[in-house]
Structure 1
């Protein structure tokens, strides 16, 4: 499973693969990027860690949902 991160950047927010700084998606706001995320991840399997402006992880999403190893609603 690949790992991705949603982080703040100089021009807004970006999604990048772990180990790379190259943006795979970018948007002016975090909300806009999160709207694009399901479409981008539709053909991929991975874990997306969503960070706050200070860099802390506030949420983690697994795509597709069936690949989530946890048996919780989260």
Structure 2
């Protein structure tokens, strides 16, 4: 499963595959819309993990798309 990070930089949200130098996508929207767009992109790539960071750069939460490939079967 691929891991992606969603970070905030210079007023934009950037989706970057773990280990990559360049962003896969750049979103010029609010955080909620950036997460929705990142979800669609990850699902189109056969799924993966989205690690969402706060605007300060700190880790916030992790989500797996689609949910059916989540290795943890928790409700959260």
Name the TM tier (shorter chain): 0.7 to 0.9
Q: 1:71 aligns with which of 48, 70, 73?
A: 73
Report the secondary structure of 2:7's partner residue.
strand
- How many residue pairs get aligned? The number is 74
TM-score, with normalisation over the residues of structure 2?
Answer: 0.82
**Aligned match of 2:53:** 51
Deviation at 1:11, TM superposition (A): 4.3
Q: Which runs of 5+ in 1 are unaligned?
A: none
> In the aligned structure 1, how far is the partner of 2:52 from the partner of 2:64?
11
Deviation at 1:45, TM superposition (A): 2.2
CA RMSD of aligned residues (A): 1.4
**Aligned match of 1:31:** 32
TM-score, with normalisation over the residues of structure 1?
Answer: 0.84
> In the aligned structure 1, how far is the partner of 2:64 from the partner of 2:39?
10
**Aligned match of 1:8:** 8
Q: Structure 1 residue runs of 4+, over 4 Å off?
A: none
Report the secondary structure of 2:24's partner residue.
strand
Q: Which runs of 5+ in 2 are unaligned?
A: none
